[in-house]
Structure 1
């Protein structure tokens, strides 16, 4: 079954479109000498936000790899869905997977001040903000002109940065590659620091801002959300584990203090006795059942980390998702729907 699943996940090798070139053919991005510096919460050995992105030594010379989400969705390495597909790459082509993660680690520390117009609301913004994980590695000029996606301002998305931290730690734990861990650690710290700005009330839990600020880009989310909040909890735990492995014990301790506070807020605001509410708002959809509400727990389990919640709550939530998101739609014959109300709509 595992082999069949992995094979099915490799559709992008033949259907999605791929580019695989020698590393020397992809020149590095231009240095930004006038980037602003901010105080970093990380160990003093970690570069500050705005410092020049590191040049990783690709000892294996596996080259540079790109793939499309689909031929009708022309953006290279869309990171929100790489979150799912990357398990196949890690298992079958781990060096390619690490190469992609290094590309995104570089991208976290880059800035592109080009102004772009976002289609959803017509506002203008910056193409790539320092500290924000990009949605993709570009389209017509990959690795150089990032974020071909322009429906929403993804620098305000709440899931990309935690997803980056979770993927990096999973790959680090699976490969035990200390060189990779040291290479990407500055980007991990920067990504974590960046996302903390969305903790609006200082309770250590991030909040969504009332627009589609995550990969479900037609769904409005307000306040604490099951999907993004769970990813954030998992990212705090993953960052702590990675910090300990790399000798940054103080940073790990700070992450776990935040984790304990954030977990309390998350459960207090969202747990309703049988699953976690979609968000902490008061809209019609706020008590909806989201299939992806335990995405952070999934990555935690996949990475060998302790569970985020009590086992009873995890099992109860999964049962609810199965009963509603799977079985209440055509008798479960088409798989899980992303979201459903308690009324089955």
Structure 2
């Protein structure tokens, strides 16, 4: 009987797929994805399920759907008297033609973000690798580093002595789109046992974001580890130069194979006696210190990336970053495990929910992320000269919807910042408060911090919601401020945000046009006036009215803490708004709350209509409506919007998530957004269901989103979760790429289950 393979231990809840098993023509525009690498705001790339480096998101706000043809790991194995096996650890067809690529299924890919693993079944010895970047809760230093670590494990269970070499080939990758990065020059760097190759770019035609930028590939020597390298080989050839050098004797010649400086390679060789196991690391680090908004080749504002706070701003840090990673990666991984393991081991949480929650975090690194360490040029000071010592942060709504830190959407998923990176949450809300006070004369809450082609954090609300007078944004701001205060009792923070809260509260009072103490949706113009921006609401709506009641609940508490006399007026508004919302929208005959009072389908039901309840029930506030009616409404949402969706497993209950709305007779409303299933909204709904005691309904609702994202072969949305799909999981929107900000709302459900 063959011995069981001796690989790295991998959690059973890790997502798993055969290496290179890419579905043909799925709905996803990019199914060859995987773990995102690189710290917050450092630039990011994925190590994909075909064992390739890509896609890419190096430039803030940009996305490049490419996989490196010259970047890969390679194995040379010689076991006993058997002939050597030399293979490239990727099945991606873009790889160099002379390289001996893996066949589909010769390895298994596992993902539980921020960690990933690959095991290989095509060698005599047992070879596996794990890889990660140091994404660590309550850590703002290492979590910002531009670095990725791979640790190989080689276990010899044969009866023969074996030799194994691992080579990493690395080209000078493009930056983003057609932006120039040239003037290549490679250097050997050594410090004690550490050895690295630095790939630099210096040329007068480079843009500011690429000039003097550098990559580093590095490893560590020891008495058991032989390290060799090639300082230059031709990335534009067929790959035979570096392949032949490695294949001939399992080592590299410590020299240049050409003068192009277009690529480099580093190799580690170990010998193993029978029964012996060895591990050794590789590190990829990079140093692109500048972020530029506006015209990348012309005028624009420049910022320093967050990691430059620790490594300087002179574009010479990649080797130092690699050395720190080689020194400390075990400690970093231990801190990651300290966070992950209690969740992994929690028997109350289903495996699929753990899988979804961790893996949706890819977007926090790969979502066009910005995280800064100061203004470089373009303005004399930060916006209005306010708290320049903070660290501004955003992810894009999506690459197709290029808005920075979209505020209505973050309401669903920002629990991950509030709980795990609270300084990011604090700084984000303070910046929003600044915009409310100083940017808009009406003191509305802006939709976003701007868009990268313009001037984020100076020119707010690029989407234009201030002109359309969205009715959900001010309430969401008030609720988010309350959540942060409730969690951390930060009096200074509340003092700072309180003027903005009062101003945006006064603005919202003016949106009551009929004297019922509730905002009135009118949706005049080409875009509707809430997060459902193509689904028009009219009169009193459950969505905006419920959020307003929830905001008044929060404001009443904060006014008491501030000892502000406005508390009396807030309490009056709250009492009347809550009563009127219930009276106007409760549909006794059907047992749910209607969508609004004056639209084409006022008796319709909205999946996300009770979103204002979530922050109240989670953070010490009263329910926005009678509890028994909330439960009845959520049960009806399940009956009308979840159960009838496509049933993939034959149990009579749909596995797609919750459609956004239905008419009272169960038919579709016939509006694009109403007839869509929003992944993040379904997860958020599931959290409310679970809290309301509808636990089976909650988990079935959320499982449908998980199934469409991670299991369904016709969709293949893993690490690319769309904002929306139609019943059955197809027709995603936006379509290319699909990746979207909101699905991290799955953490609302996971944390609810763990309470």
> TM-score, normalising length from structure 1?
0.82
Please say which of residues 261-270 and 7-16 is displaced more in the overlay.
7-16
The reply to whether residue 333 of structure 1 matches residue 655 of structure 2 is: yes
Partner of 1:306: 622
Deviation, structure 1 residue 130: 3.5
Q: Match for 1:275 among 565, 578, 592?
A: 592
Partner residue of 1:76 out of 404, 415, 431: 404
Hey, what does 1:29 align to over in structure 2?
Answer: 383
Q: Indicate conservation of the 8 Å contact 1:210/1:221, yes or no.
A: yes
From 600, 603, 609, the equivalent of 1:293 is 609
Paired position in structure 1 for 2:574 = 259
Quick one: distance in 1 between partners of 2:367 and 2:523? Answer: 33
| Distance across 1 between alignment mates of 2:535 and 2:599 | 15
Residues 72/24 of structure 1: CA separation in 2 closer, same or farther (3 Å cut): same
Residue 456 of structure 2: aligned partner = 142
Secondary structure in structure 1 of the residue aligned to 2:538:
strand
Match of 1:99 in 2: 427
For residues 161-184 of structure 1, the C-alpha deviation after alignment (integer angstroms, 9 at most, x for no partner) is 101101111111111111111110
Decide whether aligned partners of structure 1 residues 227 and 332 sit closer, same or farther in structure 2, where only a CA change above 3 A counts.
same
Judged with a 3 Å threshold, the aligned counterparts in structure 2 of structure 1 residues 189 and 335 are, in CA distance, closer, same or farther, namely same
Structure 1 residue 23, shift from structure 2 partner: 4.0
The answer to which of 77-86 and 305-314 deviates more is: 305-314
1:136 counterpart SS class: coil
Give, in whole Å, the separation in 2 of the partners of 1:4 and 1:97.
24
* Partner of residue 176 from structure 1, selected from 466, 477, 489: 489
- Pair 146,291 (structure 1): closer, same or farther in 2 beyond 3 Å: same
Partner of 1:190: 503
Does structure 1 retain, via aligned residues, the 8 Å contact 2:537–2:599?
Answer: no
**Contact 1:291–1:321 (CA under 8 A) maintained in structure 2:** yes
Offset from partner CA, 1:95-118 (integer Å, 9 cap, x none)? 11111011100010123xxxxxxx
The DSSP-based 3-state class of the residue aligned with 1:135 is coil
Tell me the distance in 2 between the aligned counterparts of 1:100 and 1:137: 10
Q: Which residue of 2 aligns with 1:110?
A: 438
Whose strand proportion is higher, 1 or 2?
A: 2
Q: How does 1:236-255 map to 2 (within 5 A)?
A: 236-248=552-564, 250-255=565-570
Cα separation, 2, equivalents of 1:138 and 1:57: 18
| Corresponding residue of 2:701 | none
Name structure 2 gaps, 5 residues minimum: 1-348, 647-652, 669-755
Out of 512, 522, 525, the residue aligned to residue 209 of structure 1 is 522
SS of equivalent to 1:172: helix
Unaligned runs of 5+ in 1: 32-54, 112-127
CA contact (8 A) 2:604 2:664 kept: yes
Residue number in structure 1 paired with 2:536: 220
Q: Which residue of 1 aligns with 2:665?
A: 343
8 Å Cα contact 2:539/2:599 also seen in 1? no
8 A Cα contact 1:210 1:223, kept in partner: no
| Aligned residue pair count | 300
Partners of 1:96 and 1:77 in 2: CA distance: 12
When you count helix as a share of all residues, which structure comes out higher?
Answer: 1
TM-aligned CA deviation for residue 82 of structure 1 = 0.8
Which of 196-205 and 185-194 deviates more? 196-205
Q: Deviation digits for residues 276-313 of structure 1, max 9, x if unmatched? A: 11110152x21111011111111111211111222211
Q: Could you tell me which of 353, 367, 370 is aligned with 1:16? A: 367
Rounded to whole Å, the distance in 2 between the matches of 1:341 and 1:173 is 38
Shift of 1:254: 1.6
Alpha carbons of 1:257 and 1:8: their partners in 2 closer, same or farther (altered >3 Å)?
Answer: farther
SS at match of 1:74: coil
Shift, 1:7, TM fit: 2.5
Taking the aligned partners of 1:87 and 1:312, their CA distance within structure 2 comes to: 26
d(CA) in 2 for partners of 1:265 and 1:159? 18
Tell me: CA distance 1:341–1:11, structure 2 relative to 1, closer, same or farther (3 Å): farther
Cα distance between partner residues in 2 of 1:222 and 1:327? 28
CA distance, structure 1, for counterparts of residue 501 and residue 407 of structure 2: 15
The structural deviation recorded for 1:326 is 1.1
For residue 383 of structure 2, give the secondary structure of its aligned residue in structure 1. coil
Greater CA drift, 251-260 or 156-165: 251-260
**TM norm structure 2:** 0.38
